[in-house]
Chain A
Amino acid sequence: MPSLKDLKNRIASVKATQKITKAMKMVAAAKLRRAQEAAEAARPYSQRMSAVLSNIAQAVGSDDSAPRLMTGTGRDQTHLLVVCTAERGLCGGFNSQIARFARDHVRKLLIEGKTVKIICVGKKGFDILRREFASLIIDRVDLREVKRVGFENADQIGKKVIGLFEKGEFDVCTLFYSEFKSVISQVPTALQLVPAAVSTDVAAADTGAAAIYEYEPDAGEILSDLIPRNISVQVFRALLENVAGEMGAKMSAMDNATRNAGDMINKLTLSYNRQRQAQITKELIEIISGAEAL
């Protein structure tokens, strides 16, 4: 049985922890709002982009002039996985969720006899994947110093991917990130970047596919300019969703931690009071029995 002093100390330390988790929750909430705003601000661009892309893809059709980034190399041997995670922990299962999802994917590919290469964006994913696939990780992107994810960060990653593709380093590229559904739910998602999966149905309908465009320079050239850009945009979107997801996960994790700390304080206070009472009773008995003996 811990002494009164021990209990008192423990209550004090749990209280201190609770203060920290509470502060972290509030910080995460503020950052979440900003991250959501950023994600919303970025939406018009990516919407427009995919609309335009599907428009042109229709115009170009599937002739040979279509860029290789869109049609692929025709093989399916080497896979590049870009795994985006957060830079910091203390956000519940957020990072391990993405990493686990990516790991299952890697295992499946390895069993099928494919070659796998991994680029890690963010420290946490790197730490987790390094344990099992250290030899497969060819590169890692560190965003630790980045306060606010900008398009340049995404563009760098996009250029890296395109550079590798031009050197023939891989055939298929898949992006792993966490889709931000709501504050309490983030879903790990895989998105194929190369060959670019261009949807030709949904987006075309609302931009008036009937419009016959003039292309300047010709459609093929615009397309080959757009596809690399689109890769960067997709990466950018993934990064923004990740930030929002991370903050959401952190917020609920810290909320839980604060509540747990509260429960713990209650329990400890109860046993502290009980013990104090027992001690008083014990002292009283000693005095009374001493008086009776006289």
Chain B
Amino acid sequence: MADFNFELVSPERLLLSERVTEVVIPATDGEMTVMANHAPTMTTIKPGIVTVKAVDGTTARYVVFGGFADILPTGCTLLAESAVPVGELSRDVIEKRIEAARAELEHSSADEHKTGIEQFISEMTALNGIVVAA
């Protein structure tokens, strides 16, 4: 199967840069699977799980908290706000984030901002469910 270069970058470091055959990205408009020779696409991503299938057939899963992806026929770059391998993430981290968002919700006044936070909370709650199941 054709492979392509996938990079997972967080502001702090480059997490992953390798040849892969398939990547599943939690895009804002729904999950999408990226394979080689994908049409050039730019998409924002929501908090979720990125599944990476490497050339040797092994899969790795990472939890990302929002960001965006830049997809080209020859490669794919995922710029995540923060990313961790699934195994290293505990539920506490997510719950802490949800709590922080709830606190922010109570303090904010702008409606638009509120909707944003509410959406974030629901996404995080969903993610929490996925991680627990995994």
Chain A residues engaging chain B, CB cutoff 8 angstroms: 38, 41-42, 44-46, 48-49, 52, 55-56, 150-151, 154-155, 166, 208, 211-217, 219, 221-222, 225-226, 229, 232-233, 236
Contacts and interface: CB of A to CB of B under 8 A. Distances in A.
27 contacts: A38-B12, A41-B12, A42-B11, A42-B12, A44-B14, A45-B11, A45-B12, A45-B79, A52-B42, A155-B81, A166-B113, A208-B72, A213-B41, A215-B42, A215-B43, A216-B27, A216-B28, A216-B29, A216-B43, A217-B43, A217-B44, A221-B44, A222-B42, A222-B68, A225-B68, A229-B67, A229-B81
A259 B77 CA distance: 49
Interface of B: 7, 9-14, 27-29, 39-44, 67-68, 70, 72, 77, 79, 81-82, 110, 113
Contact of A222 (B39, B44, B113): B44
Nearest to B112: A166
Contacts, number: 77
A183 to B, nearest CB: 23
Contacts of A52: 42, 68, 70, 79
Contacts of A154: 11
Contact of A151 (B28, B68, B81, B113): B81
Per DSSP, chain A at the interface is: helix
A232 B82 CA distance: 13
B123 to A, nearest CB: 14
A233 B7 CA distance: 18
B12 A213 contact: no
Given A151-B82, A214-B39, A216-B44, 6 more contacts: A44-B7, A52-B70, A211-B40, A216-B41, A216-B42, A229-B81
